[in-house]
Amino acid sequence: MNKSIILVLFAAVISGCVSNSDFAVTQTQVRSLQQKVGNLERELIQAKEELAVVKGQRVVRLPTGSPTATEARRNNPPAYALSAEEKDYNAAVSQYKSGDVQSAVSAFSQFIQRYPAAKQYEGALYYLAQASYTVRDYPQARQALEILVFQPKNAAPQAKAVNLLKKVYAAEGNNAGSAHLANYLQSLNSANPPDMPGTAEVAPSTVTVEETLEPIPTTDSGSIIEAPDQPLRPPTLQY
């Protein structure tokens, strides 16, 4: 009887020991699983963050052999980048072309004052003279043309500038100016005799535009009839 009781008690003790051991193992496994789940959650968060960065960069996978947009811009740069003075010059020419000659007069006048060393300086002077002649501001046209004719970089003024200055003097009734111009051209002939005696030697036109620039025709009231269709690329007068 006592042996039976002892065996029962011993079995109970052993059973309790086994249950405690299994429980400890289970706890270890649970902790391991929790750690793994935590690691997976962190990896998932990191993956989401990386995906958001990639979406923000808007990476586009192009087919093999197709250039990317960046490569296309690198391989095909802009043909020409206009400087500030060229933009201002083109804007003034655009006003002249559109028939807004009065605004063009103001724009070319400002250009000359702002960019005295510009490559387009002499072209701007000639445009200013044309525009001023068109709106019948003969004093301003004369002032610009006299710079081109009497103060060139060498002894030969532009033929177009000379011809337009003759028209300005005639419009003003400026006989003294006409006589002075004739004497000046004759002095050039004396220094550099032309092939035909009595003809002033002046430089041929080198303005790089498609058509010879002429004053815009006007009515008796001075209103514009038609503006010439000139390209916006700045001409360069060479002496």
Tokens of 114: 């702002």
- What pTM, to 2 d.p., does this model score? 0.51
Tokens of 209: 């535009």
Query: Are 133 and 110 in contact, with CB atoms under 8 Å apart?
Result: no
Q: What pLDDT shows up at residue 60?
A: 52
pLDDT (tens digit per residue) in 77-118: 566 688 888 899 999 999 999 999 999 999 999 999 999 999
- The CATH T-level fold of domain 84-239 is 1.25.40
- List 63's β-bridge partners, or say none: none
Q: Tell me, what amino acid is at 116?
A: P
Q: Is the pLDDT of residue 74 over 70?
A: no
The domain ranges of the chain are: 2-75, 84-239
Query: CA-CA distance, 149 to 121, in Å (whole number)?
Result: 14
